[in-house]
Chain A
């Protein structure tokens, strides 16, 4: 049987494991110190844990990181790392350095179930949830770990479709026993899964980003099937009901599609539906994916859209395009093909 990785376990989970083995409670804290503070990648390296305890632990457990299997670097310094998860399953993490910040965009699932029309990950279907350890591995195994200032959960997958593991990973990033980072350095992005939003807002202090992309129900559901289930006004009600203090931010992601969501009526409707929510809108240029019927809005349109929203009093930024030259890389399509070969389809 494969040994279970201790890396990615919360302190409470480690305490349960050591209790099961009749080891003293403090061993759990020692393990978390070695893994999360000293970042060692084997039980052997944990010098203050007795040999006997390590042998007991090693019977069913291990501590290991997985290094990336491929990396591609953009002209602008953005790097896209490919990490193997299971045989023939890969996830991506994008490292984005800018001035005094360095952000890592991490994945939370292999593939995604949400099927958004504009998304490359959606095209590969869903292969599985990442464990907290697999999420954190993208951070801990990053050669630029020491430079990281921010983490965004905006890579492959819908974080709120795997919320328990995402919350565990955030706990380890922010807890005293873990990396002890401020939760203000972490943003989690969702397409608007209401039960997940509620749990996330109650159980963490990280920032929330919601993929909005169109303020009109009938138009949004053509881009994002989730709109059939969790209707945007209800998502916004949920956000409104939560007390965002000055420290915690909510932002809305808005990919600009030519002729689809970039008109004055969209500005007016956005202003109407976001009324009363202290937020920011991030406008994003669309990177076309193979076979997509969508195109990106022109620069002028994006600037005019930003100006229109600002006029309505909404803080609006345009996200700088990064890593465009490596955008289509990293073998997503080949993953899809491999996965298809193994799968037992129901249709």
Chain B
């Protein structure tokens, strides 16, 4: 019996690190492999340490991988990732995972950095007829809002329970979904974010008549 294929990490160089919002960074690395939008990479600073997983947040025609992350206080990797400077070494896996984007009229629902795979899908030309609902706390937590507006051919809804600002739904995205007058039951729903977001949104969708097999979730556990 052959040895199971491990998630092998390869040495690469950080091309850039940009703090796009407080404690939120976009890192880019040179790209070596093809990938499907929605896939992720494993990252570590040392090949012998446990890795962490990050959705790719760039398009499959761009020649770098980008990831979006926020610092977790007392987290193992993110405080160190935030300190990285261009030119430093990181260890990265080949892209993997199967939270694949489609060309259908899907609904995309994300909170916080859970927007990352949808950015990859948008940057890869999958933005037609999509509905994207993004929950965030501050104005700057609607990461890539300008890119989204430029690439999305559909509805872009931002929800925030703390921000009171025109154009932003003034409550949580779960409340938005609960109160939405019409929620189509024939569409596929892609949800990405924390487990709490996934279970809350999934409960609401099912409650509103969406079949469970139309709901695909990526959990940032």
A195 to B221, CA, bound (A): 14
Contact pattern, B 127-150, Cβ under 8 Å of A = 1, otherwise 0: 000000001110001000000000
A195-B7, A221-B98 given as contacts; is B174 within 8 A of A115 (CB)? no
Q: B21: which A residues are within 8 A, CB to CB?
A: none
How many A-B residue contacts, CB cutoff 8 Å? 106
Whether B94 sits at the interface, judged by CB under 8 Å, is no
| A279 → chain B closest CB, angstroms | 14
B136 & A346 in contact (Cβ 8 Å cutoff): yes
Contact pattern, A 177-221, Cβ under 8 Å of B = 1, otherwise 0: 000000000000000001100100000000000000000010101
A122 to B218, CA, bound (A): 14
Q: A343: which B residues are within 8 A, CB to CB?
A: 196
| B25 → chain A closest CB, angstroms | 16
B7 & A228 in contact (Cβ 8 Å cutoff): no
Partner of B195, one of A125, A217, A221, A227: A125
Whether B84 sits at the interface, judged by CB under 8 Å, is no
B98 & A227 in contact (Cβ 8 Å cutoff): yes
Q: B215: which A residues are within 8 A, CB to CB?
A: 222
Partner of A345, one of B3, B51, B161, B219: B161
Q: A225: which B residues are within 8 A, CB to CB?
A: 198, 216-219
Partner of B4, one of A237, A293, A294: A237
| B77 → chain A closest CB, angstroms | 14
By beta carbon, the residue of chain A nearest B39 is A228
| B156 → chain A closest CB, angstroms | 15
Q: B173: which A residues are within 8 A, CB to CB?
A: 347
| A135 → chain B closest CB, angstroms | 19
Partner of A347, one of B53, B135, B213: B135
A347 & B136 in contact (Cβ 8 Å cutoff): yes
Q: B218: which A residues are within 8 A, CB to CB?
A: 225, 228-229
A194 & B199 in contact (Cβ 8 Å cutoff): no
Do most interface residues of chain B lie in helix, strand or loop, or is the interface mixed? Answer: mixed
By beta carbon, the residue of chain B nearest A231 is B98
Task: Report the contact-size class of chain B (Cβ under 8 Å from the partner).
Answer: 35 or more
A238-B4, A347-B193 given as contacts; is B53 within 8 A of A229 (CB)? yes
Chain A residues numbered 10-36 whose CB sits less than 8 Å from any CB in chain B: none
A117 to B136, CA, bound (A): 25
Whether A37 sits at the interface, judged by CB under 8 Å, is no
Partner of B221, one of A161, A227, A276: A161
Q: B66: which A residues are within 8 A, CB to CB?
A: none
A228 & B196 in contact (Cβ 8 Å cutoff): no
A194 & B7 in contact (Cβ 8 Å cutoff): yes
Whether B194 sits at the interface, judged by CB under 8 Å, is yes
A115 & B4 in contact (Cβ 8 Å cutoff): no
Task: Report the contact-size class of chain A (Cβ under 8 Å from the partner).
Answer: 35 or more
Contact pattern, B 158-185, Cβ under 8 Å of A = 1, otherwise 0: 0101000000000011100000000000
Contact pattern, A 220-258, Cβ under 8 Å of B = 1, otherwise 0: 011001111101001001101100000000000000000
A117 to B161, CA, bound (A): 27
Whether A112 sits at the interface, judged by CB under 8 Å, is yes
By beta carbon, the residue of chain B nearest A276 is B1
A345 to B6, CA, bound (A): 35
Q: A345: which B residues are within 8 A, CB to CB?
A: 161, 172, 196
Q: B193: which A residues are within 8 A, CB to CB?
A: 346-347
Whether B57 sits at the interface, judged by CB under 8 Å, is no
A126 & B212 in contact (Cβ 8 Å cutoff): no
Q: Could you name 27 residue pairs across A and B whose Cβ atoms are closer than 8 Å?
A: A113-B194, A113-B221, A114-B219, A114-B221, A115-B198, A115-B199, A115-B202, A122-B195, A125-B196, A198-B6, A217-B98, A219-B213, A222-B212, A222-B215, A222-B216, A225-B217, A228-B98, A228-B218, A229-B53, A229-B218, A237-B4, A240-B1, A240-B4, A241-B1, A345-B196, A346-B137, A347-B135
Instruction: Supply 5 further A-B pairs (C-beta < 8 A) apart from A113-B195, A113-B219, A229-B97.
Output: A125-B196, A228-B217, A231-B98, A345-B161, A346-B112
